[in-house]
Amino acid sequence: MNFFFEVLIGGLLAGVMYSLVALGFVLIYKASGVFNFAQGAMVFLAALTFVGLQEKFGLPLWGAFPLTLGVMVLLGIGIERVVLRPLVNQPQITLFMATIGLAFFLEGIAQIVWGTDVRRLDLGLQDEPIESIMTNFNLLVSKFDLAAAFVAGVLVAVLAVFFNKTRIGRALRAVADDHQAALAVGIPLKQIWAIVWSVAGFVALVAGLLWGARNGVQFALTFVALKALPVLILGGFESVLGAIVGGLIVGASEKLAEVYLPALMSEFLLKHYDISINLAGIEGWFAYMLALVFLLVRPEGLFGERHIDRV
């Protein structure tokens, strides 16, 4: 039973990391209706830029962070200017494909500028179990994962306040509800989009730092970011809360499936059909299949808005 809880907690904490990436998707989707496939590339770019600045100029953490943030903000403004503005009023699917192109572009640029090596990223947090929990409950809970969960919590709280209490946040929500109505009451649409992409860049930076510190800064980060898609389907595209809950569900179910399912299925196949195969590696596709099944039952996700198409 202890082992089960360990896997569950490990999965939930990994899910927090998925949520962080998904959060960036939700922000942009809410404000501009663009499904930003490039969020993963932005996570990668942010982490790589951070490490690159540290290595090249020997900057400390607190020095590299604002600089990288500056790069991400500039990037957000640039994307709005170069990619989004000419594509206003295009079908969503066109914008989606444009962000696929953007993802390739950013991945290429990031590696041309900073090189293709796998880098280590040290945030001063150790990936080691917390001793008090270890002795009292006999559970392995990583310090690092717990810190990541805390950061995610803070980030969500900050974003919630930002969205609900500030002037810009309210403008963002207005734009999300109806572009034209927002324009009509005098909300500067272009400015809002630039802001939202910058905020998404900030979220990408935080996600990139945590993922990078955990797995090293490498190209595989972009694949991790793809996992945010099933997270969004589970949680719903418009919901910050959904991104968090979806991330937790995906993280936990994926880890549990990876640990328990292959053995069960192999045993079953061997017993009844006399086939012996090793089914490890379910983790690679489980989340997507879960999302696929979920789509059939509840296409709008757990917390998404139900859309009614009118002719």
Segment 236 to 295, residues that bind another protein, using CB under 8 A: 277-279, 281, 284-285, 288-289, 291-292, 295
Q: Provide the minimum distance between the beta carbon of 233 and another protein in the complex, in angstroms, as a whole number.
A: 6
Does 101 interact with another protein (rule: CB under 8 A)? yes
Q: Smaller CB distance to another protein: residue 147 or 234?
A: 234
Name the one range near another protein by CB under 8 A: 2-10, 55-63, 90-98, 205-213.
90-98
Among residues 5, 104, 125, 218, the one that binds another protein under rule CB under 8 A: 104
Q: Smaller CB distance to another protein: residue 181 or 293?
A: 293
Does 100 interact with another protein (rule: CB under 8 A)? yes
> What is the 3-state secondary structure of the chain?
CHHHHHHHHHHHHHHHHHHHHHHHHHHHHHHHCCCCCCHHHHHHHHHHHHHHHHHHHCCCHHHHHHHHHHHHHHHHHHHHHHHHHHHCCCCHHHHHHHHHHHHHHHHHHHHHHHCCCCECCCCCCCCCECHHHHHHHCCCCEHHHHHHHHHHHHHHHHHHHHHHHCHHHHHHHHHHHCHHHHHHCCCCHHHHHHHHHHHHHHHHHHHHHHHHHHHCECCCHHHHHHCHHHHHHHHCCCCHHHHHHHHHHHHHHHHHHHHHHHHHHHHHHHHHHCCCCCCCCCHHHHHHHHHHHHHHHCCCCCCCCCCCCCC
Name the one range near another protein by CB under 8 A: 11-19, 84-92, 179-187, 193-201.
84-92
Segment 189 to 208, residues that bind another protein, using CB under 8 A: none
Does 83 interact with another protein (rule: CB under 8 A)? yes
Binding site for another protein (CB under 8 A): 35, 82-83, 86-87, 90, 92-94, 96-98, 100-109, 111-112, 115-116, 226, 229-230, 232-233, 277-279, 281, 284-285, 288-289, 291-292, 295-296, 299, 309, 311
